[in-house]
Structure 1
Amino acid sequence: MPYPDRYAYPDRFYPVVDSLDWVARLTKLGVGTIQLRSKNLDDAQSLQIVSDALEVTKGTPTKLVVNDYWRAAIVAGAKHLHLGQEDLVDADVKAIRDAGLTLGISTHDDAELETALRADPDYIALGPIFPTTLKSMRFAPQGIPKITEWKKRVGDIPLVAIGGIKFEQAREIFAAGADSIAVVSDITQHPDPDARVRAWLGRDAEAA
């Protein structure tokens, strides 16, 4: 599907956070798309946090994206899901689609891109663009030129760049072909997260 403006999905600024507190904070700041990525939860815990996060965003313009926990997303009535390649292997894509969920998928190399495209995703994420210290990565940094290459290959499917990206690099990332930038540490580890979010939202409006 085409990506006509900044109100499409996902928004151009796309923070990824691991707690309800962060979801609430970003929702209050008017962030349009937020991914909740909270790892190592059992079925009951994942259903609880997804349900609570949906309650936080209820009645706001914020779209909540559930990372990994597709069963909880379906049961809780979420609208948006993100899966890594490992998660995709075990997921029931038909059940996900039958529940009306959008589906974003992570990619790191050619084989993963082919796998993701077979699932007819609503967006493709490419990373890590730059080195990241948040988690051990078995893939080397992709670099900005890879964004342009990937965008040519995915066509109208929105492309999300992720991995070590800071606000100061946003213009170059968008110019390379990214439709959206997923941000983690540039928000969560910033000394003034609220100011940083406002800067990103201003960038979003300028870049649209």
Structure 2
Amino acid sequence: MGSPNCPPGTDPAELLADAIDGGVTCFQYREKGPGSLAGDGMLALGKRLQAVCRARGVPFIVNDDAGLAAALGADGIHVGQDDEPASSIRARLGAGMIVGVSAHTADEARRALADGADYLGIGPVFPTGSKPDAKAPQGTRLLEELRAAGIAAPLVGIGGITPANAASVLAAGADGVSVISAIALAPSPSEAARRLAEAAARAGRG
């Protein structure tokens, strides 16, 4: 989540606190899209959101930006296929950095793991409005394929996931689900997070 994902007039730090209190177990700072902050503003918001995470013992991940991750001393970074490979990022940011990589095919997944990725973001599972350039949704097929092939690395389902459909993603082999609007735009972020956490618990992922 980033500031463009929050309803008008909503403090991103307060929204994040509500979401974590409802059951969110990891947070990715993704400051992208129309109206997004840059420079000092982006850094300042990152520090506020990171403080919320640290106060509640939740890992703080930065999306794409290795420089921002280093400046904030983030717990990790998540990158896409068009970004630096995991091996290069780890060399720059240190062995202790969590590195996640988005993968849309089995080949991309295997390459990311060979490069040293700690976890994979798999999707988009369902249609999503949070990422205008998202690839076509593929359902749970790739999750099932990777598990059938014996890949044991942590897999996170991404794209269009809600409390109503999260169970199917977890049943297909995901260890967790990543969401933006399902929490950020919900009438009650904490309630939406609680429902997602309950779906994870029922699937044995809680």
Give TM-score scaled by structure 1 length: 0.79
- SS of the residue 1:58 aligns to: helix
User: Quick one: which amino acid aligns to residue 112 of structure 1?
Assistant: E
In the TM superposition, structure 1's runs of 4+ consecutive aligned residues that sit over 6 Å from their partners are none
Structure 1 unpaired stretches of 5+: 1-16
Q: 1:29 to 1:166 in 2, by over 3 A?
A: closer
Give yes or no for the alignment of 1:38 onto 2:27. no
Asked if 1 retains the 8 angstrom alpha-carbon contact of 2:79 and 2:101, the reply is yes
* Secondary structure in structure 2 of the residue aligned to 1:160: strand
Structure-2 residue corresponding to 1:18? 2
Q: How many residues align?
A: 191
SS at match of 1:173: helix
Q: Residue 136 in 1 paired to residue 132 in 2?
A: yes
CA RMSD of aligned residues (A): 2.4
Alignment gaps of 5+ in structure 2: 4-11
Counterparts of 1:127 and 1:155 in 2: how far apart (Å)?
Answer: 16
CA distance in 2, matches of 1:129, 1:73: 27
Indicate conservation of the 8 Å contact 2:162/2:196, yes or no: no
Contact preservation (8 Å) 1:30, 1:61: no
CA distance in 1, matches of 2:166, 2:109: 23
Mapping 1:57-136, distance limit 5 Å: 57-88=53-84, 92-98=89-95, 100-136=96-132
> Would you say 1:29 and 2:22 are equivalent positions?
yes
Q: Which amino acid counterpart does residue 22 of structure 2 have in structure 1?
A: L
Could you say if the C-alpha distance between residues 163 and 154 of structure 1 is closer, same or farther in structure 2, counting changes exceeding 3 Å?
A: farther
Aligned twin of 1:146: 142
Take 1:43 and 1:88, find their aligned partners in 2: how far apart are those partners?
21
Task: Kindly provide the amino acid, as one letter, of the partner of residue 18 in structure 1.
Answer: G
For 1:96, give the aligned amino acid.
L
Question: What amino acid is the match of 1:56?
Answer: V
Contact conserved, 1:47 with 1:73, CA < 8 A, in 2?
no
Q: Secondary structure at the match of 2:183?
A: helix
Between the aligned residues of both structures, percent identity stands at 32
Determine if contact 2:85/2:115 at 8 Å carries over to the other structure: no
